[in-house]
Amino acid sequence: MTNNVPSYRVEGSGPLLIYIAGLDGTGELFFKQRPMLVESYRVVTFRARDGGEFSYDDLCGDVAAIIQDNHETRATILGESFGGTVALSFALRYPAMVERMVIVNSFPRFRRRLLIRLGAWLAAVLPFSTTWLARSGASFLGLLADGVGPQDRRRFFAAIKTVRPESYARRLKLIAEFNVEDRLQEIQAPTLFIAGEKDLLIASVREAKKMADRMPLAAVRIIEGAGHACLLGNRVNVARILEEGKGIANFELRISN
């Protein structure tokens, strides 16, 4: 475990909930969900490691350090996209520290291995301005598909402009190497998979169902009409989904179609 606690922001009161960001790593793109969650949870957002050859061990150690710094022994872990891979890794490395998990539009293994390896290589060798144009164009279309308004789109792009190119490339490389598919049955924490029906980046519905089938305490919530950026749109209310799960030992164990 890392000895250094990452800089983080905590708001609200109640049980600890830690948001692990997607490929951007900024922790700033949870702004749509955070105001509702802080009414019932202490919500932690943080910027992921932004330099060096960090590993999943490093990223998981950072989450563990945040939990300990809050004088807690466990937390609800919410991981989005790449953050979902960190959350799954964390549940395998620190199972006693996971109260429950929410995994949004993620995967146990990226299926298009050649594509992600090519993306990681291009991100490492091409000028950032070149890859920025491609990424920003794809992001803009994705935000439109999720109904994200102009003000929130500006906030999105302001956040991702702060991402260091080498950190972005490193996260892509980690995705290319990531594979916990054969270990999912080891995860005992109650887990809810949220999947956007129209996610064009990942086959989120298929991946969510496959993961839930392998885990002893898992459920799937499919969000009709939602894409990869569903936490920035108006179709997902994480606070409401978690409220529906209160009073039971785990999430509702059924597959929602």
Per CATH, the architecture of 8-244 is what? Answer: 3-Layer(aba) Sandwich (3.40)
How many other CB atoms sit within 10 Å of the CB of residue 96?
A: 8
Q: Residue 183: which pLDDT band, with cuts at 50, 70 and 90?
A: very high
Sequence letter at residue 253 = L
Q: Which residue has the higher pLDDT, 51 or 79?
A: 79
Q: What is the pLDDT of residue 26?
A: 96
Q: Residue 250: which pLDDT band, with cuts at 50, 70 and 90?
A: very low
- The per-residue pLDDT for range 95-108, each reduced to its tens digit, is 999 999 999 999 99
Is the predicted pLDDT of residue 242 greater than 80, yes or no?
Answer: yes
- The per-residue pLDDT for range 209-223, each reduced to its tens digit, is 999 999 999 999 999
Of all residues in the chain, what percent are helix, strand and coil, respectively (each to 5)?
45, 15, 40
- For the chain, what are the domain ranges? 8-244
